[in-house]
Structure 1
Amino acid sequence: MSIDVQEAVKRSIQTEKNAMNFYHMGALRMKDPDARRMFETLAREEREHAGHFYRIYRGSDIPSLDAFLDAPPDHQAAWMSSLERLIESDFNEKKALELAMEKEKNLEATLRETAAEIEDGEVRAVYELNARETHNHYLLIEAEYARIMGMVDESEMDTYVRE
């Protein structure tokens, strides 16, 4: 299977923007100050991830990364639409963290799959870096979830979070 590397990079920039918007919007609704700070941190890191991809993007349709990232969110994007559905139903920190873990786990898998298909070493390295950082996001969210849930032992994560 052949992959259009620049199209993949452009999609990755958009995905990181969607994740940034997800965490920003989620942070605004968090009542718990530690959970809110974590979502704010993740929003900043997703912006950095978009920058990693932007540096290897050769297209000319995104002349300014800041302007692109500061544009209004794409409410049709999976990251945003899933958060908006949660907000419309019964948003709480537990459910937001569960959704964030699911999103990060899926994104990590996608980044690793894409990296495996890319021959260009520089581009592959960016995907691998972002996959590792995405995995770290998952671990950070998982730890916050454990705190919110009042878990005192790592083994409790298996019951509530891990499959």
Structure 2
Amino acid sequence: MGHFIEEILREAIYNEKKSHDFCHLAATLVTDKRTKEIFSQLADEEFEHARSFFVLYTGSEFASTDLLYKHHRSEDPIFDQLLQAVETDDRERRALEIALSGEKWCIDRYSVLARTVREPKYRAAFIEALDRSRMQYEVIEEEYRRLMGAAGSAWTTA
């Protein structure tokens, strides 16, 4: 495995684990039962995504599974946004908007990697991650629309 593959796998593990931490935290902070269930489900899925990339990674830097179990809350402003949203009446909307933005970023990034990576095993992993991100985006978007009602809101989705 080359340096480029190691770097993008490391990035993917980090991003999926960060998404897990965000969804786990969101599930504990939102009050709507359905939204809470969705964030809990997404947290479980994101952890499995991180683990699937971890299995592919053979770099010595991750000799332990610390990356899978370390919390990234203090390292990323996205968690500050979520914690600020908790203090508002629209915490579900704001948490879902943050989640949509994160999934959109993953879709964009995994699209590039699915086109760029040539090694079949790693390319297949990024294609699968892209498909999973698109499905998760749809789940989050559907929940967002449910909460916002039939009229929708100012949020536009990709």
- Regarding TM over 0.5, the answer is yes
Partner Cα distance (1:126, 1:148) in 2: 33
Q: Is the aligned partner of 1:122 residue 2:148?
A: no
Cα distance in 2, alignment partners of residues 107 and 122 from structure 1: 19
**TM-score for both structures, normalised by structure 2:** 0.87
TM-score when scaled to structure 1? 0.84
Task: Give me the whole-angstrom Cα distance separating, in 1, the residues matched to 2:48 and 2:109.
Answer: 18
Q: CA deviation at 1:21?
A: 0.3
Letter in 2 for 1:141: I
- Tell me the residue number matched to 1:12: 12
Matched, 1:102 2:97: no
Question: Are 2:46 and 1:42 aligned?
Answer: no
* Number of residue pairs matched by the alignment: 157
Amino acid in the other structure paired with 1:52: S
Q: Is the 8 A contact 2:82 2:94 kept in 1?
A: no
Structure 1 position 162 matched with structure 2 position 157: yes
Q: Distance in 2 between matches of 1:124 and 1:144?
A: 30
Distance in structure 1 (CA, Å) of the matches to 2:6 and 2:152: 38
Cα distance in structure 1, aligned partners of 2:88 and 2:152: 25
Q: Identify if the C-alpha distance between structure 1 residues 91 and 25 changes in structure 2 by more than 3 Å, giving closer, same or farther.
A: farther
Mapped partners of 1:76, 1:85: distance in 2: 16
The percentage of aligned residue pairs carrying the same residue is: 27
Distance 2:141 2:124 in 1: 26
Structure 1: 5+ residue stretches without partners = none
2:22 is the alignment partner of 1:22: yes
Pick closer, same or farther for the CA change 1:52–1:90 going to 2, 3 Å: same
Shift of 1:85: 4.6
Q: Is residue 79–residue 103 contact of structure 1 (8 Å, CA) maintained in 2?
A: no
Contact preservation (8 Å) 1:24, 1:39: yes
**1:102 alignment partner, SS class:** helix
Cα RMSD (Å) = 2.4
Q: CA deviation at 1:160?
A: 4.3
CA contact (8 A) 1:18 1:79 kept: no
Residue ranges of structure 2 left out of the alignment (5+ in a row) = none
